[in-house]
Amino acid sequence: MTEPGGAAAAQQQAEPDLSALVARVEAELLGGPRRFTRQDVAERAHLDLDELRRMWRALGFASVGDDDRVFTDADIAALERVHDLREAGDIDDDLMLAMTRIIGQSFARLASWQAQLVVEIIGRNPDLLTGSGAEIEQLTGRLIPAVEDLHTYVWRRQLAAVFSRIASNAGPGSGAMTATVVGFVDMAGFTTLTRKATEGELRTVLTAFETLATDVVASRGGQIVKTIGDEILYVCDRPDEAADAALTLLDCADADDVLPQLRAGLAFGPVVSRLGDVYGQTVNIASRLTALARSNTVLVDDGLAGALEDDERFALRSLRPTAVRGYHHLHSWRLRRAGA
């Protein structure tokens, strides 16, 4: 017969030491224990201390003291690769820092999402937190290599796709002005939705929106440049595919019980592409048109209207010029499918 309190004591004894468990998982992720100071890393990676500080901040990591032992063998190996990359590619400091910053921002967002996914998995399987913690170690031991391999595969595949687009457009390289359709699509009334919906409901809506946008834009030969809250920015080389992507997104959202209605603004013209983002007047116009558009409506600029005027699949209606920030007389056109 179990003594009073014996079951509770046994359960408490079975609970894992979370601090020790996190330390073991961290050692797996970081490639070893934290045993080097910044000075140690600088000497081994052939970087001076100021440069190392700039790189560390650019990657988005928290500041640490020069004498704190927070670096691992993997940190040294990574920074040695940075040094080798700069030497091999003759990359100046400003470009190196900008590239490092983009990598840090991209992977910070990716890591945040993946960590949240692991927390949700544990939440659905609370037994993982009982016992010695071996179950969690087994879970991370399986997930980490698989996700790491997937990162490499997707990066290589995306890089090949970018080079293919550059070759097909016969355009110059990074930083050059090229004619592109820029599209913004956002969820109308999302601010109101955030006041009424639960956190879980908002996650469901945002996930559904990002999934739909990724599928539709990619199937039309476009690329999502970034997601900004309830809004996506995408680019397409072909005007007809960009227009079809926007109209399809609105139609799908309108027929979806989860998603609110969308609105879109598209502009066609030169853009500056740099480090995975796009800049210039064309981007600004597309953003202003999105703000002007009503729910379930696509507005386009003169450039895109001219490119689509002979395409029988689309119908365009000229609207009166409107004063918006930066443009006193912004002329827009309402885009629909022919016969709609």
Q: Which of 93-107, 116-130, 247-261 has the highest mean pLDDT?
A: 247-261
User: Hey, what amino acid is at 261?
Assistant: Q
pLDDT at 332: 93
| Tokens matching residue 301 | 């600029």
pLDDT at 313: 95
Q: Which residue has the higher pLDDT, 2 or 124?
A: 124
SS3 284: helix
In the structure, how many helices (H) and strands (E) does the chain have? 12, 10
| Tokens matching residue 334 | 């309402």
Domains along the chain with CATH numbers: 13-166 (no CATH), 172-337 (3.30.70.1230)
| Cα separation, 196 vs 115, whole angstroms | 27
111-115, 168-172, 228-232, 258-262: least confidently modelled range: 168-172
| Cα separation, 245 vs 218, whole angstroms | 9
| Cα separation, 225 vs 182, whole angstroms | 10
Strand intervals (E) in 80-126: none
Give the residue-averaged pLDDT of 258-273: 93
Q: Are 185 and 246 in contact (CB under 8 A)?
A: yes
| Cα separation, 218 vs 235, whole angstroms | 10
SS3 286: helix
The partner residues of 330 in beta bridges, in order of sequence, read 322
| Tokens matching residue 218 | 């990619």
pTM: 0.66
| Cα separation, 176 vs 178, whole angstroms | 6
Give the residue-averaged pLDDT of 227-246: 93
Exposed/middle/buried for residue 48 (C-beta within 10 Å: 0-12, 13-18, 19+): exposed
DSSP 95: H
| Cα separation, 128 vs 148, whole angstroms | 23
DSSP 2: P
Give the residue-averaged pLDDT of 6-15: 47
pLDDT over 60 at 36, yes or no: yes
| Distance separating the N- and C-terminal Cα atoms of the chain | 77
When pLDDT is cut at 50, 70 and 90, the band that residue 92 belongs to is confident
pLDDT over 80 at 90, yes or no: no
Q: Are 234 and 161 in contact (CB under 8 A)?
A: no
Q: At 151, which helix (H) or strand (E)?
A: helix 134-169
Kindly report the backbone phi and psi dihedral angles of residue 183, in degrees, each rounded to the nearest multiple of 5, phi listed first: -125, 135
Give the residue-averaged pLDDT of 213-227: 91
